[in-house]
Chains A and B, each alone.
Chain A
Amino acid sequence: MKSSLDGMAPNWRQRLTLPRGMRDAINGVDFNRFRFWLQIFFFVLLVYGGFTGLNLGNNLPTFSCGYNQNGRPGVCYLLPLQHQLAMPTKALLGYASLTILSGLFIFFLWFIVLNKGWCGFVCPLGTVQDWITDLRVKMGARFTRYSQASFETLSWIKYVLLALMIVIPLGIGAGYFSHDLGAPYCMICPARLIIPTLALNFDQLVLDFSSPGKIVMTTLGAITTGLFLAGSFVKKRFWCFFCPMSAFHYLLSKPAFFRLIKDGDKCTRCGDCYTVCDLQIKEIADDVKNPQIMMDDCIVCLKCVAACPEQGALKATFAGRTVFESTEEGFIKRMEKGTRA
């Protein structure tokens, strides 16, 4: 079972004569279908899990939306984080810092297990975007791409949102802003409107006219949700590109267990991975120096691994062990299925 794991040339003799082991089965899997079902599983868990009384805590590194009060099995960390940061500055420097640090720590523990795999496999808002994409494909419409220049500019938005998401609550605590701007990211997050709605809770589908701040924030929320629906119809994983959670993840991703690794020597730069990448990440094809190929926009959906025809050029590892890697056979099987369908 060690054949091509340790950077040696894959042993051809073993590959041909070994009985098809479990590894071959995993690497040859119809990956898109596997992922589709796994996403459904997590979607049901994170949108409806709360109805069974499940509680995973308030520090989840994915959009298990807190506004979905009955359906959620736990809360997306961004909501409590913004609330905590909006505490009076004095409190923040005192006892509340412990609350924040312990919350961050639990968030971190959850996060390092799956790394940004939380985005590619677990996030219900991501899954919704994939379904909208499926719908578009069914209708035979093509997707759009950003030009390279737009990509590079727009790529900063998630960091700006992350910064605002921290600065505004701090400003509230310090008394600069009104409490009406509380949880500012949540107010503009499409998940706040979409996830509760999918759990048949329509409370968020309102424009709140109780104060100027609320009017602005709920209107912005309605606009972003409209953008989200239209955007993800024409652009794959439209929102992920702007998601501050994605930026937050990336900043913490160094010690994560789950990783996307590239062996540049084996890469022919054929661009197959780039062709299938929902987030248009060029480095996945072009960078042959850096083995840690998970870029900040990456959602670790592993579509690139499934679409790589070079033995072992791309792989997903967990704590250093390969769990899924690109193989010639697996690639051919998946693409044959595509041309047959």
Chain B
Amino acid sequence: MNGPFNSGKPVVPEPSPQSAGASPRARKPKEPLPFGKTKQAREAEKVLNHIVDDFDDNPKAMDYFYDLFRRVYCRGETIAPDGPLIGTTCIQAPEELIYAMGATPVRLCNGSYHYDQIGAEFMPSKSCSLVKATLGMLTSDDPVPRVGKLDLVVNPTTCDQKKKASAMMQDMGHAVFDLELPNVKESEASRVYWQRSVRSFAEEIRKVTGKKLTRKNLKAALARTQRAEKAFRVLDGFRKASPSIFLGKDAFLVVNAYFFDNLDNWCEAVERLNDELKIRYDNAVRAAQKKAPRIVFTGSPPIFPNLKLPLLIERAGGVVVSDETCSANRMLYDMTAVDEWLVNDMVDSLADKYLKPCTCPIFTKNDDRRRRLLELVKKFEADGIVYQAFAGCQVYEMEQRSVAKTLDENGIPMLYVETDYSPDDEGQLSTRIEAFLESIKTRKRMRQ
């Protein structure tokens, strides 16, 4: 019976004969570092300090968000959820359903280089930093943001990397629900398919919370996200002001906070910010130089602490006036219209909102994305576009060509940047960005 399986018995270490303190020479058990000293906390703190201290005249109301990130990312505080906590790995998971049935959503997409490195063991070397970082965070004992124990992870079947991450998350011990998203969004068949997916998602949440979806709780949930979307749209409106009264780095921070913050607190904080921006606008307070190049940001999403590219743009004298990314604009801009306020119609309308306007590159066609970029440039009077593609995010890399062509036809300059979460390329990137902004300024001068 000495087969290989028997001999492979795990060796149970003998209990150490030395009791604690018996010998001063004995190796001390490794004590966990105080949270603030951990790598991920230091990484977050460094970026946060840069966002707060290296820019003049930040809006007062931004303090709520600076403080929030400091508490959650640097000090490791938890935001207590109401009811079960449901993690989402993409914006397509209808959060209204989660709220309605008494759970709290938290978006798991992570922006930390530290977790990117940890997550690297799950994915091939040339994979998207975001997916790796999310896996890295989920596998950590002490993740940031402190999402706590997840009762369910909803994984919309978007890009290949996220699809494959599903099984890995399951292996880590998470309960994962694959929310089936179609690859084509134009056809009526895909719409119907998606509406069914969303309904089965609602069923799944009911299993977690034990609460039924009713007309009343769904309407209340819709009212809550409606408030957030409205606050976001007002904020978005202020970014049209020229010269700019609000910087993109702060805008990204505000929407990134939406990932994990308490919804009502977030709405209040944004409404306060909007009030302050209104005063700034009326008093013509400027957040950037009058001739600062106005940039629309597109491509792979900047997620705190990886605000590398927006920060480089704004340090170099540009302003990110708008974006087409799923960590900001695409997450909160679109609003749900309901015709008949019955559960079925509300759920279908929600499903539509999460599918039809989505400009995610995982879909077959990207006409909507290209049209959206043109419209954003027009609406925000932008001078150019910066396109970020995470190395390994094939879909964004593949769309580069068609987007560049459309923008070229419309005379809009674009800078395509392939990067990842590593800080190594900052020097090189800052040179490229400075050159790009300089060329925009020259173009503007020539035109006048």
B379 A271 Cβ-Cβ under 8 A:
no
A272 B335 Cβ-Cβ under 8 A:
yes
A266 B375 Cβ-Cβ under 8 A:
yes
A137–B335 Cα gap in the complex (Å)?
23
User: B212 an interface residue at 8 Å Cβ cutoff?
Assistant: no
Write out the residue numbers on chain B whose beta carbons fall within 8 Å of the beta carbon of A269: 356-357, 368
Write out the residue numbers on chain B whose beta carbons fall within 8 Å of the beta carbon of A140: 215, 342
Write out the residue numbers on chain A whose beta carbons fall within 8 Å of the beta carbon of B262: none
Nearest Cβ on chain A to B279's Cβ, whole angstroms: 12
Question: Range of interface residues on chain A?
Answer: 35 or more
Write out the residue numbers on chain A whose beta carbons fall within 8 Å of the beta carbon of B349: 272, 275
What is the interface size of chain B, counting residues whose CB is below 8 A from a CB of the partner? 46
Write out the residue numbers on chain A whose beta carbons fall within 8 Å of the beta carbon of B375: 265-266, 268
A10's nearest neighbour on chain B, judged by CB, is: B379
User: B186 an interface residue at 8 Å Cβ cutoff?
Assistant: yes
A282 B188 Cβ-Cβ under 8 A:
yes
User: A156 an interface residue at 8 Å Cβ cutoff?
Assistant: no
A335 B337 Cβ-Cβ under 8 A:
yes
Interface string of A119-132 (1 = CB under 8 A from B): 00000000000000
B219 A142 Cβ-Cβ under 8 A:
no
Residue among B187, B222, B339, B368 having the largest count of chain A Cβ atoms under 10 Å = B339
Write out the residue numbers on chain B whose beta carbons fall within 8 Å of the beta carbon of A275: 337-339, 348-349, 352
Consensus secondary structure, chain A interface: helix
A339 B219 Cβ-Cβ under 8 A:
yes
Write out the residue numbers on chain B whose beta carbons fall within 8 Å of the beta carbon of A335: 226, 335-338
Q: A12-B241, A142-B344, A275-B339 are in contact. Are A288 and B352 (CB under 8 A)?
A: no
A335–B353 Cα gap in the complex (Å)?
14
B356 A9 Cβ-Cβ under 8 A:
no
B339 A271 Cβ-Cβ under 8 A:
no
A336's nearest neighbour on chain B, judged by CB, is: B226
A268 B381 Cβ-Cβ under 8 A:
no
A268 B338 Cβ-Cβ under 8 A:
no
Interface string of B356-386 (1 = CB under 8 A from A): 1100000000001001101100110100000
A140–B222 Cα gap in the complex (Å)?
19
Nearest Cβ on chain A to B4's Cβ, whole angstroms: 59
Write out the residue numbers on chain A whose beta carbons fall within 8 Å of the beta carbon of B344: 142
CB within 8 Å of A: which of B160-207? Answer: 186-189, 191-192
A16–B223 Cα gap in the complex (Å)?
24
CB within 8 Å of B: which of A244-279? Answer: 264-276
CB within 8 Å of B: which of A311-341? Answer: 328, 331-332, 335-336, 338-341
User: A143 an interface residue at 8 Å Cβ cutoff?
Assistant: yes
Write out the residue numbers on chain B whose beta carbons fall within 8 Å of the beta carbon of A307: 337, 339
Could you list 21 A-B pairs, sorted by A, with CB under 8 Å? A9-B379, A12-B240, A148-B189, A265-B371, A265-B378, A268-B333, A268-B375, A270-B353, A271-B191, A272-B335, A274-B352, A275-B349, A276-B337, A309-B337, A331-B335, A331-B337, A335-B335, A335-B338, A336-B223, A338-B338, A341-B341
Extra 8 A-B pairs, beta carbons < 8 Å, given A9-B378, A335-B226: A148-B189, A265-B371, A331-B335, A335-B337, A338-B219, A338-B341, A339-B219, A339-B223
- The 4 tightest CB contacts between A and B, nearest first, are A272-B337, A271-B356, A270-B357, A148-B188
